[in-house]
Amino acid sequence: MGISGVTFRIGSGMGEIDISLYAIYNPSVMFDQLESRLSGVLKKIRGLSKLTESNMADALREVRLAMLEADVALPVVKDFIARVEKESKGADVHKSLSPGQQLIKIVHLELVKLLGGGTAELERAKKGPTVILMAGLQGSGKTTSTAKLALHLSKEGLNPMMVSTDVYRPAAREQLAVLGEQLGIPVFRGEGLSDPVKIAKAFLKHAKDESANALLIDTAGRLQIDDEMMVELESIKKVINPTEILFVADAMTGQQAAEVARIFHDRTQLTGVILTKLDGDARGGAALSVKSVTGCPIKFSGIGEKPEQFEVFHPERMAQRILGMGDVLSLIEKVEKASDEEETARLAKKIGSGDFDFTDFLDQLKMIRNLGPMDQVMGMIPGFKPPPGANVDDGQLDIAEAIINSMTKEERRSYNIINGSRKSRIADGSGTTVADVNRLLKQFVKMKKMMKNFKKPGFMEQMMSMGRPGFGN
Residue type (1 letter), 244: E
CATH number at residue 450: 1.10.260.30
Residues 369 and 351 in one domain: yes
For residue 80, the model assigns a pLDDT of 92
Task: Indicate the SS3 state at residue 29.
Answer: coil
12-29 burial string, b = 16+ CB within 10 Å, else e? eeeebbbbbbbbbbbbbb
Q: Which of 336, 305, 331 is nearest to 317 (CA)?
A: 331
Query: Has residue 331 been placed in a domain?
Result: no
Residue 162 pairs in a beta bridge with: 187, 216
Helix (H) or strand (E) holding 65: helix 53-69
In tens, the pLDDT along 60-88 reads: 888 888 888 888 889 999 999 999 888 87
Residues 144 and 281 in one domain: yes
Query: Has residue 186 been placed in a domain?
Result: yes
Whether the CB-CB separation of 291 and 116 falls below 8 Å is answered with yes
Single residue among 114, 139, 162 that ends a domain in this structure: 114
Sheet holding 130-135, edge to edge: 187-188, 160-164, 214-218, 130-135, 244-250, 272-276, 298-302, 310-312
Separation CA 245–CA 243 (nearest Å):
7
Single residue among 313, 331, 357 that ends a domain in this structure: 313
Q: Which domain holds residue 46?
A: 32-114
Residues 272 and 235 in one domain: yes
Single residue among 313, 336, 365 that ends a domain in this structure: 313
Query: Has residue 123 been placed in a domain?
Result: no
For residue 422, the model assigns a pLDDT of 95
Query: Has residue 382 been placed in a domain?
Result: no
Question: Residue 455: how many CB atoms within 10 A of its CB?
Answer: 13
Residues 266 and 349 in one domain: no
For residue 225, the model assigns a pLDDT of 86
Query: Has residue 330 been placed in a domain?
Result: no
Residue 91: what are its φ and ψ, rounded to 5°?
-85, 145
Who contacts 2 (Cβ-Cβ below 8 Å, separation ≥6)?
Answer: 24, 439
For residue 327, the model assigns a pLDDT of 47
For residue 453, the model assigns a pLDDT of 60
Residues in the chain: 473
Q: Which of 148, 193, 143 is nearest to 167 (CA)?
A: 193
Residues 276 and 305 in one domain: yes
Separation CA 295–CA 261 (nearest Å):
10
In tens, the pLDDT along 122-162 reads: 999 999 999 999 999 988 999 999 999 999 999 999 999 99
Separation CA 186–CA 211 (nearest Å):
12
Query: Has residue 248 been placed in a domain?
Result: yes
Query: Has residue 188 been placed in a domain?
Result: yes
Residues 454 and 354 in one domain: yes
Q: Are strands 310-312 and 298-302 parallel, antiparallel or unpaired?
A: antiparallel
Residues 54 and 140 in one domain: no
Residues 97 and 138 in one domain: no
Q: The dihedral of CA 116, 121, 127, 128: what is its sign? A: positive
Residues 204 and 283 in one domain: yes
Q: Which stretches of the chain score pLDDT less than 70?
A: 1-33, 46-49, 90-98, 280-283, 324-354, 369-394, 451-473
Residue 8: what are its φ and ψ, rounded to 5°?
-150, 165
DSSP line for 418-434: --HHHHHHHHHHHT--H
Q: Which of 255, 240, 443 is nearest to 232 (CA)?
A: 240
Task: Indicate the SS3 state at residue 164.
Answer: strand
For residue 18, the model assigns a pLDDT of 39
Residues 39 and 137 in one domain: no
In tens, the pLDDT along 407-419 reads: 999 999 899 999 9
Separation CA 163–CA 173 (nearest Å):
8
Separation CA 319–CA 301 (nearest Å):
14
Residue 37: what are its φ and ψ, rounded to 5°?
-65, -45
Whether the CB-CB separation of 245 and 270 falls below 8 Å is answered with yes
Separation CA 58–CA 127 (nearest Å):
55
Query: Has residue 250 been placed in a domain?
Result: yes
Whether the CB-CB separation of 119 and 314 falls below 8 Å is answered with yes
Whether the CB-CB separation of 145 and 302 falls below 8 Å is answered with yes
Q: DSSP assignment, residue 287?
A: H
Q: Which of 384, 379, 383 is nearest to 468 (CA)?
A: 383
Separation CA 326–CA 278 (nearest Å):
16
Whether the CB-CB separation of 274 and 299 falls below 8 Å is answered with yes
Residues 307 and 430 in one domain: no
Q: Which of 19, 22, 257, 264 is nearest to 133 (CA)?
A: 264
In the chain, the number of structural domains is 3
Q: Which of 393, 396, 386 is nearest to 365 (CA)?
A: 396
For residue 432, the model assigns a pLDDT of 93
Residues 141 and 279 in one domain: yes
Start-end of H helices in 91-162: 99-114, 142-155
pTM above 0.75, yes or no: no
CATH number at residue 101: 1.20.120.140
Q: The dihedral of CA 280, 465, 12, 442: what is its sign? A: positive
